[in-house]
Amino acid sequence: MNLSDYQELSRRTKPDLKDKREEMLNCALGLAGECGELLDIFKKKIFHGHYAEPREFSGAVIDEMGDFTWYFVWFLDIIECSTGFCDRNQVDRSELGPSDQPVKLAIKLNLEVARAVAGWEIEAKFPHSVEARYVVMIWRYFCLLAYSLGFELSDIYAFNVAKLVDRYPEGFSKKASQRRRTVVTGQLGQ
């Protein structure tokens, strides 16, 4: 599964909001929130002794990275930016350097999201609504984080689609969101 396929499959779970301003606000809060949840997983692992089993840690991280991807592709829809733009700017696993530790990359991803959402112009279209460099940098750090943890992007997409189908079999609704079910983490990469 590639990013375009994922984007298409994820659209069935977008909420029906009244206007673009609400959509942008929802995406800004969602991207920032998912980054915060990623950082919280690292904090709990490093300082609180959580996620003793590597599979448990991987499952928690891939879950949040999938949620982040959901907001990211919705954001691309809002600003009318094709996933091809991300494909053209996707980093290769070989660009992962020895100093690219997962926790540092998660922090860098969080900082790029914060920079981007702080300057969004709600009404403009891409690339004027968001500087293209922010989209590139968010995508760069997302890819590097995935690679540093040994994940394939397609696994993140597939895991999230399975969760969304389970959680929202009829598409998104506020009622379904309030009674969410969580997919049990399966074997990654299968």
Is 186 inside any structural domain?
A: no
Stretch 146-171: mean pLDDT: 93
Tell me if 44 sits within 8 A of 50, measured CB to CB.
yes
Is 178 inside any structural domain?
A: no
Structure tokens at 131: 């500087």
Is 176 inside any structural domain?
A: no
Structural domain count, the chain: 1
* Whether residue 155 has pLDDT greater than 80: yes
Amino acid identity of 10? S
Q: Which helix (H) or strand (E) holds 136?
A: helix 132-148
- Domain range for 70 is 17-150
Tell me if 138 sits within 8 A of 116, measured CB to CB.
yes
pTM score, whole prediction: 0.87
pLDDT of residue 25: 85
Closest CA to 173 of 22, 31, 16, 66: 16
Residues 36-61: tens digit of each pLDDT: 999 999 999 999 999 999 999 999 99
Is 132 inside any structural domain?
A: yes
pLDDT of residue 39: 97
Is 187 inside any structural domain?
A: no
